[in-house]
Structure formats: structure tokens, C-alpha cells
Structure 1
Amino acid sequence: MKRTLAATLGFLGALMAPVASPAQEAATDPAWQAVLDDARGETVYFHAWGGEPRINAYIAWAAREVANNFDVRVLQVKVSDTGSVVSQVLAEKSVGKSSGGAVDLVWLNGENFAAMKEQGLLAAPGWAQSLPNWRYVDVENKPTVVQDFTVPTDGQESPWGMAKLVFMYDSARLDTPPATLDGLLSYAKAHPGRFAYPQPPNFYGTTFLKQVLVSTVPDKAALTKPVDEARFAEMTAPLFAYLDELHGALWRQGRAFPKDAAHMRQLLADGELDIAFSFNPSDASSAIANGELPPTARTFVLDGGTIGNTHFVAIPFNSSSQAGAKVFANFLLSPAAQARKQDPAIWGDPTVLNVAGLPETEKVLFDTLDLGPATLTPEQLGPVLPEPHPSWVSALEEAWTARYGAE
């Protein structure tokens, strides 16, 4: 997908153009103008996972844009476990702190959103749909923007990006990667130590467990509902049978695990692993662009599909800067911000927008993107397998730890 010089210049010109000013955004919406007025001068403490330098750099860019255009200061509070943010907000609620909270905006999805919603820790429903840039969100073709791990969002979180499990390999060392889970197991057993997954409860490790679960569970309908403890062993028997076979063939014989996706990527680059994986379809291309993987790195998926979802930002009920948080969330949905995020040289995170429905001046931002040599087309990415109900996450992690964690 090579860009012509003209397309490149057009894309760069569009990205360098200033984002919409407060006056422009509020021209036809007095309610949004009131939000912009309230937000001016606020500081937003954005609690977001900080384990990926490219994402941190993108957040810093977005913060500068919002500061320059809306007089809102955004500070990223880097966290390693979003569950700790949920616990922090819950602790504030338990002592009656209904305003002046320490968390203004949080990056989350899945079980953390479900926990905050269930315990009344989120701002009132509907704020996400009130954002001016919500009109660009592709609700029809990306239903997970309003259904988070089967839980309706009710406008209590704003979609930020899409995710889908993909596997990565170096085509200079591996001609044909496995196309199925059984093939992956056979490859791992034939090449001990050349495959790994992070240790749950690391997000990526748990994602691998869910991929095996949704592919092997005897009753798929069970995954759309809260865990039934009476059936848990039966539903997970094929999963753990698979993991038992795989365990001894893992990197370091399953006695140690990569820390996260970035560590797996490094092990792939260093030649210690033959296959790694990510929850970002553009991750390999991004890593090539940033010199973290060789130009021969490529991406593949498994026949039958892989796990996929949407990630969001949410405002706690007692945020100190709710207006500023809304302004930042709205900026993150803007075509300019979404296009920059999807650029593999920046982050490579897929957009939540309906690109085909954008005005031509903003659609060009996406049409001229070079998604990189290792990024699969939407057709090649194949089906998206839905996430199980959030309750399965902790149940799987606890069962995995009981089985393998003491080794």
C-alpha cells in the first residue's frame, strides 16, 4: 500500500492543520459551548496503562493539542493495573467522597467497566453520546462500541479504539505459521521454547486463555452469561487440557513468562521466540517502523477467527474535572486524532469511526494512511470472536494460578 507523493503531502497537510477550535465545535450547540466554558482551565488526571512508550507518546500529543485548543490540561497517570484505579474510586465512594475525586478519566474496558458500572462508580449515563464527535462513531458495523464484553455501555464510556488478537512471526525464519490452535500446539511441541504467553492476570496472557476458551468451550452460549460455578470445570476442561499439553513446551518450560506484549515482541526480535502475539492488528508494522522488529516481520490470524473488542475512556462519578474529561474524550474521537492513532508509525490502533461516512476532507486522513507491510486487510483479519462475559476473566485467572502459578 504505497502512497504517492501527492497523497503523502495531502495527508501530512491534513494532520498538520489545526484541530477544531472551541468556537467551531460549539457553533451550533450551546450545550457543548457550556461544557467548553466549564472545562477551560481544568486539569484532567487521565489514569491510563503506561506500559507502551508509543501509546504514552500519543497521549502526550493529544494532551498538547487539547491544551493549545481548549485550555484543558491533561496529565497521564501511568498505571500497570486498571483494577487498582477501580479500587481507588470505590474507596473514595465508601468514605462518601462524591466530588473532588483523584481520577478524572480512566482507560478501561471489560471487567473493569463492568465493576465500575455495577458499583455505581461512573458518571451519569448518556454523556458519551452527547459528545459532538459521537456522530462519527460506527455503531452499526462495530457493535462492540456500545456493548463492552456483552455489557451495554449506556453512554457511560466513550469508545477510543478497536482491538483484535493477531499473531506475529519473522518470515525470514518461519515460512508458514500455524493456522489453527491445534497447529500452534503441534508447532510448540516440535520447537520447544519458541512460543510463550504472559502470565495471567497480565491482560495479554488472559487474552490468550480466552482465545483458547472461546475456540474449545463445549457450550458457547455459556460464555455470554456470568460464570456458572457448577459448570465451570466442564466448560474449561478443553482449555486446560490444551494448556497442559502446551505448558512444558513453552519458553523456559513454563517456569517463567514474558512480562507483556512488548516483552514478547522483544523476544521475537532477539530470536528467542518464533511466534508472539498482540491485541493490535498494526503492532508488527508499528514495530517495524520504530525499529523494534525486522522488516521481514509479518502478522497472521487463526482460521475461524480471533478475540476482538473495543477499548474506552470513562469518567468516574466523582471526577474533579468532568467537563475537561468530556473535552478530552471528544478530542480522542475526532477524525484527526483517530487517524493519527491508526498510523502504524504513531500507534497503529484501529479507529472506532465510520470512515466511509466522514466528510471528504477528513476521510482523506484515513484513505492516505500506509498501514504498513505487516498489517492484514480487514478481509484477511477474518471473523471477530466475541469476548466472554466479564465474570470469566477473574475465574480463568484464578483457575490458571491454582494450576500453574506455584511452579
Structure 2
Amino acid sequence: MKTRAVHPRSLAGIAIAATAAVALSGCVQSANASSAGDDASNGTTNLTVFISGDTNVQALWDGSLIPAFEKAHPNVHVSTSIDLHGQHDAQTQANLTTAVKADKTVAYDLVDAGWVSTVGKAGLLSTVSASAIPNLKNVPEATKRQGGDAAIPYRASSVLLAYDTKKVTDPPKTLDDLLAWIKQHPGEFAYNSPASGGSGGAFVMTVLAKYLSGSEQASMQTSYDKSLESKWDEGFQTLKDLGPSMYQKGVYPNGNDQVLQLLGSGQIAMAPVWSDQFITAQKAGTIGKDVAFTQISDPSFTGSASFLGIPKTEPEAKKQAAEELADFVLSSKGQQLVASAVSGYPVVPLDSLPKSVAQQFADADPSTLRLGFQSQFAADMNAAWDAKVPQ
């Protein structure tokens, strides 16, 4: 059986665009209105964390980070607002741009979104430093550089190589080792189609990167020059040649979860997986303890940090409270909560955390994350894979 993943297109795009402005119309407001939420009579500062993401991230804030922070800071009240799955990301960023240009505040005080780095580098967020956020000094410089000087790294994840220890006693250590192992063990490896999930996308990017120079990889991570895509031909040929050695001779699962299900049921012995999804699945018992993970090299799989940001027009008093909240998230306690709630691995040195947490993430170093392709390159890569790889 040979399958090509189906990538559904939303038929509601026009409706979303039409309603986005209405849904987010309250995000831009005057400076006076923004501070009106504070209760001057009892010295309470009210903060809103804006989340663009999934419900698990909101649960991290509402169920873990905020209660712990408020207990230590009784004069600060924190709530959350979520744009589920980032449906209105473009409109949110446009509203933020409009607000900053007009020197207006927005209806949130701290942002947790995949676009924090982008808007930070565009000058829409306040720059951050260890003088205002002391625990920022504990974050590796390489991790901080990923987001720029206005982004606060607070958790990370990467794609790792998961393997069944009952079948694999000496897992591959490099990409070349992995490619050789796949051909030597036909049917025991799977990756999802890249457009259906980031773990498969990371595998494809990593194979393509094998044939790119360092400067070409750097260009594809930070800018867009379509002419560079001619350098992908050798990598796509390698991926096509792997087809007969894939699970069921060319079946590509649809999504990260299907790959985990194949691993958990013992139908395959090895696959690329997201670190946080794998650890969560193992905690839930859907992946057995006999399945372990490691990272390859030359090159490694891709990964990235998740960032927080403070809007540039934030009033000073609320900015200081938002910085205190970010500093708490980077504390040992905050990083333990992140690790426990969403299996995000810490961005501070593991030796500063309890041994149980350090052991859990010993093979996942956020300071060595290799960034993936810039979004336009990634979209082109997905389309090219669809056209060139499945047979």
C-alpha cells in the first residue's frame, strides 16, 4: 500500500478573515483604558497573558504557572486570553503594529506565541535584559539569540530519534548512520508527511540539510531566496530512494500522533518524534518504557525555543509586573512546572533543577537546537516533497 497524505484545506478561510477584526477589535485601546484594570485602592496589578496556541498551553498558565506566581506575588492578579491554534495570528500582529505606531497599549501584557520573535525583531516588543529579568542570565546565549533581544525563551522542544530498545540496542548516532539503518531494516522506520506534522518535517529538513553548505543552511533559516531550492535535488532523491524501506514500503503516516501510535504498538522500531509529545505519551502510558530517545548529529534534527514578549507600549508599572512574571517562569520552580505540565524541556541549566527533572531531559540540550527553514522555504519544501517523494 502506498499513500500520499491528504492535506485538507479550510473552507472557512473567508469567514475567519471577515470575523477576525471583530474578534480582536478589543485588542487595541488607549493607555488610560489599559491601566483602568488595576485596582489602585488595594495596590493590585492586573495582567493578561495572551496565548496563541493550543489548550495545553493555556492549561500550563491557568493550572500551574499563574497559581504559583500569584501565591508568591499576592498583589498581582493574572488572567489568560487565548487565540486557539493561532487562527487570527495575522490580525493580532496587524493590531499590535497599529497600536505601537499610534503609541497605544493593547489588551494584554505578556505574549506567548510562535510569532514573538518575529514581532520582537520588528520593534513591536520591549527589549529585555537580565537587569530587569534576573533569571534570564541563566539561559544560554545560543538560545537567547534565536529570538532576538525582545524575546524571552521559556521552554523548548526538538525533534528526537525514538527507538524501541527491545529491537535496537545501538541506535544511530549520526544522520548517515540513521540512513544506513533504515535501509538495513526495511519496514521498521516511519516519518509522517512533512505538511502533516513537524516531526516528519524535521526529518525531511535534516536530510535536505545534509547536502547544503553552512551558509546555505543559515540563509534558509533566516531569509527567502527561492533559487536556493535547486540545492534540494540530491536530498529529495535520497528521500525517494528510502521509500521502499519505509513502513509498509512507502506508507507515510498523517501527523505526529500516528507516528507515536505506530511506535507505541510496536509496528515500527524507530521514528523521529517531538520531545514534548513523546514524553507526554510516555507519562500517559501510550508509549512504553522500552522506547527511548536520543539525538543524532551531522546534522541534528531541528528544534526551537518558545518565547514570551512584552508589548512595547506597556505602561511602566505593568511592564515591571510582567517582567516579574517572566522572571518567575525562568526560575527553578517555574521551569519545573513547565516540564511537568507540558513536557517542555527547560531553558536553564539542568544542574539548577531537581535530579528527577535533569535526568528526564539529559539527552535534550536546548542550547544546541538547530533551527528549521524559514516559513516560506518550509511551505515550498512540503509541496516539493508531495510531488517528488511518495511513489
Task: Compute the TM-score of the two structures, normalised by the length of structure 2.
Answer: 0.70
1:171, 1:296 within 8 Å by CA — same for their partners in 2? yes
- Structure 2 residue 298 is matched with structure 1 residue 314: no
Cα 1:98/1:298, change in 2 over 3 Å: same
Cα 1:298/1:214, change in 2 over 3 Å: same
CA distance in 1, matches of 2:281, 2:271: 13
Structure 1 spans left out of the alignment, 5+ residues: 1-35, 357-362
Identity in percent? 16
CA distance in 2, matches of 1:47, 1:355: 26
Work out the number of aligned pairs and report it. Answer: 339
| Cα deviation digits, residues 290-330 of structure 1 (max 9, x gap) | 32311211112224351344332123446696555433322
Matches within 5 A, 1:137-156: 137-138=138-139, 142-148=140-146, 153-154=148-149, 156=150
- Single out whichever of 296-305 and 37-46 deviates more from structure 2: 37-46
Aligned to 2:72: 69
Match of 1:398 among 380, 383, 388: 380
Aligned to 2:22: none
Aligned to 2:226: 229
Matches within 5 A, 1:122-137: 122-126=124-128, 130-135=132-137, 137=138
Aligned to 1:327: 324
CA distance in 2, matches of 1:78, 1:253: 40
Aligned to 1:259: 255
- Structure 2 residue 209 is matched with structure 1 residue 214: yes
- Structure 2 residue 334 is matched with structure 1 residue 337: yes
Give 1:62 shift.
0.6
2:200, 2:272 within 8 Å by CA — same for their partners in 1? no
1:251, 1:257 within 8 Å by CA — same for their partners in 2? no
1:264, 1:276 within 8 Å by CA — same for their partners in 2? yes
| Cα deviation digits, residues 53-95 of structure 1 (max 9, x gap) | 4x5543321122233333322325263348x525422245358
| Cα deviation digits, residues 225-266 of structure 1 (max 9, x gap) | 3343333312x2232222222356555776764323x44323
Structure 2 counterpart SS, 1:125: coil
Match of 1:49 among 53, 63, 73: 53
| Cα deviation digits, residues 80-121 of structure 1 (max 9, x gap) | 348x52542224535877535355433345xx345323544x
CA distance in 1, matches of 2:96, 2:314: 11
- Structure 2 residue 349 is matched with structure 1 residue 351: no
Matched residue type, 2:371? E
Give 1:213 shift.
3.1
Matches within 5 A, 1:296-315: 296-304=290-298, 306=300, 307-315=302-310
Structure 1 counterpart SS, 2:255: coil
RMSD (Å) for aligned C-alpha atoms: 3.9
Aligned to 1:371: 359
CA distance in 1, matches of 2:44, 2:319: 11
CA distance in 1, matches of 2:343, 2:151: 22
Aligned to 1:290: 284
Give 1:268 shift.
1.6
CA distance in 2, matches of 1:73, 1:382: 28
Cα 1:81/1:187, change in 2 over 3 Å: farther
Aligned to 1:240: 236
- Structure 2 residue 371 is matched with structure 1 residue 387: yes
2:126, 2:309 within 8 Å by CA — same for their partners in 1? no
Structure 2 counterpart SS, 1:133: helix
Matches within 5 A, 1:113-124: 113-120=116-123, 122-124=124-126
Matches within 5 A, 1:143-222: 143-148=141-146, 153-154=148-149, 156-188=150-182, 190-192=185-187, 194-200=189-195, 202-217=197-212, 219-222=213-216
CA distance in 2, matches of 1:383, 1:125: 21
CA distance in 2, matches of 1:205, 1:318: 39
CA distance in 1, matches of 2:69, 2:292: 35
CA distance in 2, matches of 1:117, 1:383: 20
Matched residue type, 2:383? T
Matched residue type, 1:181? L
Give 1:159 shift.
1.5
CA distance in 2, matches of 1:330, 1:201: 35
CA distance in 2, matches of 1:132, 1:180: 37
Structure 2 spans left out of the alignment, 5+ residues: 1-37
1:97, 1:318 within 8 Å by CA — same for their partners in 2? no
| Cα deviation digits, residues 319-353 of structure 1 (max 9, x gap) | 696555433322211111113434xx544433222
CA distance in 1, matches of 2:210, 2:188: 23
Task: Compute the TM-score of the two structures, normalised by the length of structure 1.
Answer: 0.68
